[in-house]
Amino acid sequence: MEEKTKELKLQSFSFMVVALFLAVTTHCLLLFYGTVHWRIAGPSAHLTSMVLELQMKSSEQQTPYDTKLLDEMTKETKDLATGTSLLMRNTAAYRYTGWASLVFAIVAFFGKPRWAGWIALPPALYAAFLTEIMMMLR
């Protein structure tokens, strides 16, 4: 009797799909990171500095600012800064998704059909290079 051995074949379609998904995810995370960084973090920092300036003026010049309102504004700006920091930290997952996309695209070359690797490679390279550029700019 002849034993048939089944050879495990690597299908590159699944790796291509994962690489494309991770490349798109990286792009979306970078867009969200940019939105948080420029549209939320900048005004948040400006608001915090304005509140601190009001506090200093209030304590130095004995200006009749409402101290209860000023304390409430300080608490709210601290909460906003903390929330912004958490958002920026959570959107920084683009570092991992960009490189994972490239890894999956390279693995797609080792399977059949090989053209699936060629389809996955350009978006994966885009994601990985954009990730590296953003990491250098930080």
- pLDDT digit string, tens, across residues 103-132: 999 999 888 888 888 999 999 999 999 888
**Cα 96 from chain centroid (whole Å):** 9
pLDDT of residue 101: 94
Q: Name the average pLDDT for the chain.
A: 76
Q: What is the mean pLDDT of residues 100-105?
A: 93
Residues 6 or more apart in contact with residue 138 via CB below 8 angstroms:
none
Tell me the C-alpha distance between 51 and 73, whole Å: 7
Summarised one tens digit per residue, pLDDT across range 81-97 is 666 666 666 667 778 88
More confident of the two residues 8 and 128: 128
Query: By three-state DSSP, how is residue 11 classified?
Result: strand
- pLDDT of residue 5 exceeding 60: no
